[in-house]
Structure 1
Amino acid sequence: MRAFRAGLLAGCLLVAACPPVDAEPGPSSHDVKQARQTARERSKRLSRTTAKLATAHSRLERLAAEVERLVEAYNGEMVRLRQAEQNHQQARARLAAAAAEVERARQAVTLLATESNGGLGSLGPVVGMLLDQGGTDGFLHRASVLGHLSGERAAVLGRMRDAQEVAAILRIHADSAYAAQQAASERARLAKIAAERAVAGQRRATRELTARKKTLQRRVDAARTRADLLARRREAALAGLVAGGSAMGDVAANWALTQLGKSYVWAAAGPETYDCSGLTMRAWEKVGVRLDHWTGTQWTSGPHVPLDQLRRGDLLFFAHVTGDPATIHHVGIYVGRGQMVHAPQTGDVVRVASIWRGDLVGATRPAP
């Protein structure tokens, strides 16, 4: 009988010393080593990207200077275009005035011809000669002919010829001004395109580099956090084995740490995505404690705990009005050393953060 009792006592001691086979195991040393290696590799990538970013910033400064040059070139072309447009308008106005003067002179010639025996009469060859577009020799001949006409007639015909000469010169000027305007317009168009492309390229390069660095920084932070917490979790697990097993809160906290990096999704409760109360609900579910998927009832799921007496696994609540639990909007699970695991918000992932926030209301220790 004594031998039976001794055997039974030894068996009980063995069971007490060894955790159940389905208990939550701590991470292995290999897990911790691998997590730290991941953090180092991501840090190296971040360093390389940071170096590239510094080089890119230098390039962006040169690009900014080039953008300014192109923008100012466009501004200059616009000034020249406005001047060319003004010159063209003035040339057109002068040409219109000259054309009107030619018309008035032509009417005077027509009247003169009508008065000469009801037609051009002897003035016919002279008018035809005046309308001739010949060169210098023709001009000398016309001047000679006009000299043989009476003073009044010569003056009328001379005025028409002078008006025609002026109109011809101004037409050339107007055509030249129009060509200058068209050339200025094309230069302004090309300068605008170049400036717009440069500005767009500058903005795109800045945006891409900034986004790349932010992404890598988040990944590095997550890797470092995971490596540190796996090390802490292993220490806690090893200590728990020595003490005869982890408490319920430790198991809940340790499980929450395994969910790091998973995306926040509103109203989700795992296994790949979570919101804040979905994560804490699943964590305590691992030790058989049922919680609602709602911060309102999770707040009342057990006794409230003073913040200086927190244990791993305790739930931490945050509210819009810290004196009014009815305004609670967020919950996390305490993992020790002033840190909690939580699912923060849309666009973020499950991660570790300090519990010390301005909207901290208090803590609850869920009870079976």
Structure 2
Amino acid sequence: MRTRTTTERATGNRPARRVAGVLVAAALCLVAAPSVASATPTNPSDAQLGAAQQQKDAAAQQVGALSAQLATAQAEVDAARARSAIALDTFQGKQAEQEAAQVAADAATAAARRAEAELTTARANVADFARQSYVQGSTNPTLEALTTADGPAQMLERAALLEAASAHQGDVVVQVTAAEQQARAADAAAQTALAEAATLAQEAADALAVAEQLEASARAQAGALASQQAAVQAQLQQAQETLLGLQGARTAAEQYAAQQAAAARAAATRATAPTSSTSAGTHQLVSNAGAGDSSAVETAISAARRHLGTIYSWGGGSLSGPSMGWGVDAGIVGFDCSGLTRYAYAQAGVSIPRNSSAQYKALPKVSRSDLQRGDLVFWATNTSNPSTIHHVAIYLGDGQILEAPQSGSVIRVTSMRWSGFIGGARPTA
């Protein structure tokens, strides 16, 4: 019975286990009724065993070849997803720059409007001065006012008043000139700011288009990989069932022969054969828990945990919670990786940048040996180049992370992955 059990554990194939089980059960029944010769299991010939061995070798070679192909395909899918995440990161950075440029453009436009209003007021003052001069019959009423004075005292008084009036008229002309210059400068600044904002908006749109294309490609590759995996699994299962059926037949025959020999010895010696049993021990790896961080860390982790099971949304996540995704995930409300980490720490009053590469750049760095609960952990396609960072998660300690992994999945707690790990950062430092 040990041989059949070992085979079943190695394959994990239920149909094959049922076939082998039926054959062995039949053999056991024959031990109780040795006179029924027709039920004796047939032991395969050497030729049959050779053919079975060839089939087994062929199946093993096929599995090896298919496993290599699947590994290559999975690597291509992972690389495509990383490129998509980097492109999305670039878009989010450009979007932030464009929003800042738009604020500056709006301020410049408001300044230009104020300057234009001041210019309009100054021009109205000049027009009023011209209108008064026309009514008086001269643009210089000084001589007329002095010659019509009743005496020296009135003449001196009028002279002082006329001097003040002339100074005011001169100020009006100066104000018009200054207002015209300010209006032109403000309008130029507004046009420059608007042009810069428009350029950044276009750059952001271009980055989004690239990111959408890469994400769509990654998803198409992932779908093709899933189909290929299903086909390979079906082929492998069929090969295993065939091989195990042949092996089961031989196992049943060998066990039947051994049981018949044991029964014959028992009848001859009137003694029972000793039996033995084995037990397997268990080994459990124990991980040491790291020290806890500040209350801000626990607040952030609690905020992230509240959204376990929330769907991943490409570009989703705001300071207040899940939000609509971009491009291929338009209409899907959830978080992407950096959207989740920024949201979580915002609930603890800690402000960090929106995208993963900016978070890594802005925050204090932590090496692998110094990681503690609440640190952010980052992955990159090139661990010597931070610009290739494509994913971020929250380190929970005990070899666990909390993350929004990728499209089609949900926010989860999972084991820490060290392949592609570029470093950690501590938002509360």
- Give TM-score scaled by structure 2 length: 0.38
For the pair shown, the structure with the greater C-alpha radius of gyration is 1
- Give TM-score scaled by structure 1 length: 0.44
